[in-house]
Amino acid sequence: MKKLNIFFDKLSERMYNENNLSDVTWAIMETIGNKFKTDFLEFIFNIHINHNEPIEVIREYTEHSSSVRPDFYFNVNNTEFIVEIKKYDKDKHEDYLELFPNCKYGFLSIYTFSHPEINTKTWNDFYQSVKNKLDNYSDTDKILLSAYLDYVKNICNIIKFEKMDLSKLQSLYYFDKLIEKTINSASTEKYEMSIYRNNIKADRTGKYIELFHKKHKKKIYPWLGVFYNENDLNIYVNYRVEEGWCDTITGKMHKNEELTIKFTEKFKNYNCEFWENAIWIGMNKDDFDNFNKANTKKQAEILETFYYKILNITETFFI
């Protein structure tokens, strides 16, 4: 992944509300200029605009009062447009039709709805429209727009669906039970371990572990499970950095950049990354492939070995 794409990907983790989406979209308009503004308006309003026509754009238009602020105002050769940006918020701001009677009104959201006086479009369709036109932009603008689309894709939950085989979902049930078995039998002379709580979301199945280090008299709460989305499928251990979770380990690294580098180097044979305010350590590809090919007994051994190796490496970082 290119650094600009990584930047927008990270941006989407912190700037994900509707105002953020509007601000980033406005910044892209002001950076790329008239061509993107034109494509934006043509998509929302199903019109044709001369690409050489100057376009004025104002973010949060406040002509009438400070309490009424459409997200975008456009003026193209004295033709006025306002566009409201939404994710899931259902407020249609129909009062804008009275307050801005001379403006064409557009509405861009994740969900669909119809209104006789409002031009409504979805972020999914906008994403596809811009993606289809990328080759019409300069190389520099194309790189920037591609990264911006990654941002839109992340915060508007846009995915490309693949063929599904629901018969394989039962594997998650067995994997969850395997994690439980691994943790319940994992206590050693060094550690006492038990299940702290389940953690199942749309993109993961796992468990938080209450882990007590007997020698250091310290307790942490790592996570063990499988993470899955359209770009990733792997088994991970993660250490959250918030106070009270795994700061016995991670707090030390926040104070010492050299130690952070050293920690990452210790896991060079694994997929070690920082995201969602946690350090994620994933199985390497060979181990993960072997896990998927193995019988049930061998799968249990591979998971247990992976977990213990991570613990043993991490032990040296206990405060």
pLDDT in tens, 139-160: 999 999 999 999 999 999 888 8
Q: Are residues 62 and 14 in the same domain?
A: yes
Point out the domain boundary residue: 95, 124, 155: 155
Residue 319 has pLDDT above 60, yes or no: no
Point out the domain boundary residue: 155, 174, 203: 155
Give the pLDDT band (50/70/90) at residue 2: confident
Q: How many CB atoms sit inside 10 A of residue 144's CB?
A: 18
Domain-embedded: residue 161: no
pLDDT at 243: 77
Beta bridge partners of 122: 109
Instruction: Of 135-139, 202-206, 244-248, 256-260, give the lowest mean pLDDT range.
Output: 256-260
Number of domains in the chain: 2
Residue 261 has pLDDT above 80, yes or no: no
Q: What tokens does 109 get?
A: 């959201």
**Is residue 302 within 8 Å of 234, Cβ to Cβ?**
no
What is the C-alpha separation between 257 and 123, in angstroms, rounded? 39
Percentage of the chain surpassing pLDDT 90? Answer: 51
Structural domain of residue 151, as residue ranges? 3-155
pLDDT at 277: 82
pTM (predicted TM-score): 0.64
Q: Give the CATH number of the domain where residue 238 resides.
A: 3.30.1460
Q: Are residues 120 and 239 in the same domain?
A: no
Point out the domain boundary residue: 112, 130, 155: 155
Give the pLDDT band (50/70/90) at residue 48: very high
Q: Are residues 264 and 310 in the same domain?
A: yes
pLDDT at 37: 96
Which residues lie below 8 Å from residue 252, measured CB to CB, with a gap of 6+?
259, 317, 319
Can you state the percent helix, strand and coil of the chain, rounding each to 5?
Answer: 45, 25, 30
Q: Are residues 143 and 47 in the same domain?
A: yes
Q: Are residues 137 and 172 in the same domain?
A: no
In this structure, the strands spanning 278-282 and 233-240 are: antiparallel
Residue 102 has pLDDT above 80, yes or no: yes
In this structure, the strands spanning 103-109 and 79-85 are: parallel
205-225 per-position pLDDT tens digit: 999 999 988 888 888 999 999
Domain-embedded: residue 292: yes
Beta bridge partners of 115: 118
Q: Are residues 92 and 179 in the same domain?
A: no
Residue 64 has pLDDT above 90, yes or no: no
